[in-house]
Structure 1
Amino acid sequence: MLIRIEASELPGRACGREPGFPGYANIHVGVQGRERREELLGLTPGDAPSALWELEVSATGTEAGWDLRGSFVQGRPGGRFIYLSWGTVSAAGAFSMFRRAKLHLDAIPDRVLDEAVAQGVLVARLGLTDAQGQPLCAAVRPPLVAWSTPSG
């Protein structure tokens, strides 16, 4: 099965200093690999008009519902999630993470996940700028993310 993450409203290439937030320049976002913080899929500049990531996952039926697994799926059964990692990119191309957004897969409505497994595609749509104008971080559940199928 494919998970397609469609992101919009990126915060920009720089985020300013605020109380409790040091500010960063040349920021990028990508999907973090499972147990490999340095492995990022689709590293995208923070000032891009949008971002799109496609992840191959397996969906296994369990007594509790569907268990989604893959190279970019984190966590244990019943608590799986996808990390969108924010970081700076140095002149040499090195990525240094400063925050992450955690897309909780247990927040997908059962009906949507059933349809996605049948169709082979699950879509997540979200904006990547938080209410303070900074890169979105922490727990991301509806209404911050809308889960659907291509036909729904």
Structure 2
Amino acid sequence: MHIRIEGDDLPGRRPGAEADALRRGNVHVGVQRRSSVVDRFPADAEAAVWAFPVDSREVDDLLDVGGPWVHGRPGARFLYLSWGVVDADTFSMFRRAKLLFGDIPTATLRAAHNGAGVLVGRLGLTGPDGGPRCARVRPPDIAWQVE
């Protein structure tokens, strides 16, 4: 199964002290693959898009996902978007957004599993406080569909 996460409204694009601090601090957001944060975008990028495959399989009439991008135990699987400061080759994480597979409508997830298209999640990357979006991101703050 293929997944694409599309993020817009990055917090460093907004005016104000918080956005200035994100830009000066060289803050980036990336997707977590195992313990590494990869495919990073600066906090003031126009948009951020991540695309990657995940394994999916039927287990006792339930759909389970796995692979290096997927975290959590069966029945509670999720993806991480991680925020951190970049200094040379070092990424120092300070926040994460959690995208749970359990929040994806069952029919949508099954359609992607059955090859109907790419599972796409769209979300704004600025949180309610004006900073980087973090914690669990639930619909309607993320919209899932198959394209």
Flag whether TM exceeds 0.5 (same fold).
yes
Q: Within 5 Å, give how 1:1-152 maps onto structure 2.
A: 1-12=1-12, 16=17, 24=22, 25-34=25-34, 36=35, 39-63=36-60, 65-90=62-87, 92-118=88-114, 119-150=116-147
Q: TM-score, normalised by structure 1?
A: 0.86
Residues 62-71 or 103-112, more deviating:
62-71
CA RMSD of aligned residues (A): 1.8
Q: Which amino acid aligns with 2:144?
A: W
Classify the secondary structure of the residue corresponding to 2:11. Answer: coil
Residues 105-114 or 7-16, more deviating:
7-16
5+ residue gaps, structure 1, are 18-22
Count the aligned residue pairs: 141
Q: Which amino acid aligns with 1:109?
A: P
TM superposition outliers: structure 1 runs of 4+ over 4 Å: 13-17
CA distance in 1 between counterparts of 2:95 and 2:111 reads 32
The offset of 1:16, in angstroms, is 4.4
Residues 45-54 or 57-66, more deviating:
57-66
Q: Which amino acid aligns with 1:106?
A: G
The offset of 1:93, in angstroms, is 3.0
5+ residue gaps, structure 2, are none
Q: Which amino acid aligns with 1:7?
A: G
Q: TM-score, normalised by structure 2?
A: 0.88
Q: 1:46 to 1:64 in 2, by over 3 A?
A: farther
Aligned to 1:20: none
Q: Deviations over 1:98-151 (max 9, x none)?
A: 10000111111111111111224211110000111100000111111111001x
Q: Identity of paired residues, percent?
A: 50
The offset of 1:26, in angstroms, is 1.1
Q: Flag the structure with higher helix content.
A: 2
